[in-house]
Amino acid sequence: MDIDGYNPVPMDLNAELSEAFKRPGFKVAYDALEEEYSAISAFLYARKAAGLTQEEIASRMGTTKSAISRLESSLGNGRMSPSLATLRRYAAAVGCRLELKLLPR
Protein backbone atom coordinates (compact mmCIF):
# COMPACT_ATOMS: atom_id res chain seq x y z
CA MET A 1 0.00 0.00 0.00
CA ASP A 2 1.39 3.41 -0.91
CA ILE A 3 1.07 6.71 0.94
CA ASP A 4 -2.15 7.65 -0.87
CA GLY A 5 -3.91 4.52 0.35
CA TYR A 6 -4.24 3.04 -3.12
CA ASN A 7 -4.37 -0.72 -2.87
CA PRO A 8 -5.66 -2.31 -6.11
CA VAL A 9 -7.64 -5.52 -5.87
CA PRO A 10 -6.60 -8.08 -8.48
CA MET A 11 -9.39 -9.34 -10.70
CA ASP A 12 -9.52 -12.35 -12.97
CA LEU A 13 -12.12 -11.41 -15.59
CA ASN A 14 -12.41 -14.95 -16.94
CA ALA A 15 -13.06 -16.34 -13.47
CA GLU A 16 -15.62 -13.59 -12.77
CA LEU A 17 -17.47 -14.31 -16.02
CA SER A 18 -17.35 -18.05 -15.36
CA GLU A 19 -19.02 -17.47 -11.98
CA ALA A 20 -21.53 -15.04 -13.46
CA PHE A 21 -22.65 -17.53 -16.11
CA LYS A 22 -23.65 -19.91 -13.32
CA ARG A 23 -26.30 -17.44 -12.13
CA PRO A 24 -29.81 -17.95 -13.53
CA GLY A 25 -30.66 -15.56 -16.33
CA PHE A 26 -27.14 -14.18 -16.74
CA LYS A 27 -26.47 -15.83 -20.12
CA VAL A 28 -29.80 -14.62 -21.53
CA ALA A 29 -29.05 -11.04 -20.39
CA TYR A 30 -25.45 -11.26 -21.62
CA ASP A 31 -26.51 -12.56 -25.05
CA ALA A 32 -29.15 -9.82 -25.34
CA LEU A 33 -26.35 -7.22 -25.28
CA GLU A 34 -24.44 -8.78 -28.19
CA GLU A 35 -25.59 -6.19 -30.76
CA GLU A 36 -24.68 -3.25 -28.51
CA TYR A 37 -21.24 -4.68 -27.77
CA SER A 38 -20.66 -5.35 -31.47
CA ALA A 39 -21.58 -1.77 -32.35
CA ILE A 40 -19.33 -0.15 -29.77
CA SER A 41 -16.49 -2.52 -30.67
CA ALA A 42 -16.77 -1.59 -34.35
CA PHE A 43 -16.67 2.14 -33.62
CA LEU A 44 -13.82 1.91 -31.11
CA TYR A 45 -11.84 -0.38 -33.43
CA ALA A 46 -12.30 2.06 -36.33
CA ARG A 47 -11.10 4.99 -34.20
CA LYS A 48 -8.07 3.09 -32.94
CA ALA A 49 -7.26 1.75 -36.42
CA ALA A 50 -7.33 5.34 -37.68
CA GLY A 51 -4.99 6.29 -34.83
CA LEU A 52 -7.30 9.06 -33.64
CA THR A 53 -8.27 10.33 -30.22
CA GLN A 54 -11.78 11.36 -29.23
CA GLU A 55 -10.57 14.95 -29.39
CA GLU A 56 -9.40 14.52 -33.00
CA ILE A 57 -12.70 12.88 -33.98
CA ALA A 58 -14.57 15.77 -32.33
CA SER A 59 -12.54 18.29 -34.29
CA ARG A 60 -13.26 16.51 -37.56
CA MET A 61 -16.97 16.34 -36.73
CA GLY A 62 -17.19 19.92 -35.48
CA THR A 63 -18.22 18.92 -31.97
CA THR A 64 -16.68 18.42 -28.53
CA LYS A 65 -14.67 15.58 -27.02
CA SER A 66 -17.37 15.07 -24.40
CA ALA A 67 -19.97 14.64 -27.18
CA ILE A 68 -17.80 11.92 -28.75
CA SER A 69 -17.35 10.27 -25.37
CA ARG A 70 -21.14 10.27 -24.86
CA LEU A 71 -21.68 8.94 -28.39
CA GLU A 72 -19.22 6.07 -27.93
CA SER A 73 -20.59 5.12 -24.54
CA SER A 74 -24.20 5.39 -25.74
CA LEU A 75 -23.59 2.73 -28.37
CA GLY A 76 -23.03 0.23 -25.59
CA ASN A 77 -25.68 1.29 -23.11
CA GLY A 78 -28.78 1.88 -25.20
CA ARG A 79 -29.70 5.07 -23.29
CA MET A 80 -29.10 7.35 -26.25
CA SER A 81 -29.97 6.66 -29.87
CA PRO A 82 -27.64 8.60 -32.17
CA SER A 83 -29.04 9.50 -35.57
CA LEU A 84 -27.80 7.83 -38.73
CA ALA A 85 -26.44 11.22 -39.80
CA THR A 86 -24.29 11.37 -36.64
CA LEU A 87 -23.06 7.82 -37.13
CA ARG A 88 -22.20 8.62 -40.77
CA ARG A 89 -20.24 11.71 -39.68
CA TYR A 90 -18.34 9.64 -37.11
CA ALA A 91 -17.59 7.00 -39.76
CA ALA A 92 -16.34 9.67 -42.18
CA ALA A 93 -14.18 11.19 -39.42
CA VAL A 94 -12.37 7.86 -38.96
CA GLY A 95 -12.06 7.31 -42.71
CA CYS A 96 -14.86 4.75 -42.99
CA ARG A 97 -18.26 4.40 -44.60
CA LEU A 98 -21.27 3.45 -42.46
CA GLU A 99 -23.08 0.33 -43.63
CA LEU A 100 -26.28 -0.83 -41.98
CA LYS A 101 -27.44 -4.42 -42.53
CA LEU A 102 -30.42 -6.47 -41.49
CA LEU A 103 -29.41 -10.09 -41.08
CA PRO A 104 -31.74 -13.05 -40.65
CA ARG A 105 -31.60 -14.59 -37.18
- The DSSP-derived string for 54-79 is HHHHHHHHTS-HHHHHHHHHHHHHSS
Fold of 25-93: 434 Repressor (Amino-terminal Domain) (1.10.260)
Q: Give the model's confidence band at 86: pLDDT under 50 very low, under 70 low, under 90 confident, else very high.
A: very high
Looking at residue 97, its amino acid is R
Buried b (16+ CB within 10 A) or exposed e, 48-65: eeeebebebbbebbebee
pLDDT, position 2: 56
Question: Where are the chain's structural domains?
Answer: 25-93
pLDDT, position 5: 80
Average pLDDT over residues 44-65: 96
pLDDT, position 3: 63
Per residue in 3-50, pLDDT tens?
678 888 888 889 998 999 999 999 998 888 888 888 889 999 999 999
Expressed in angstroms, the distance from the first to the final Cα of the chain is 51
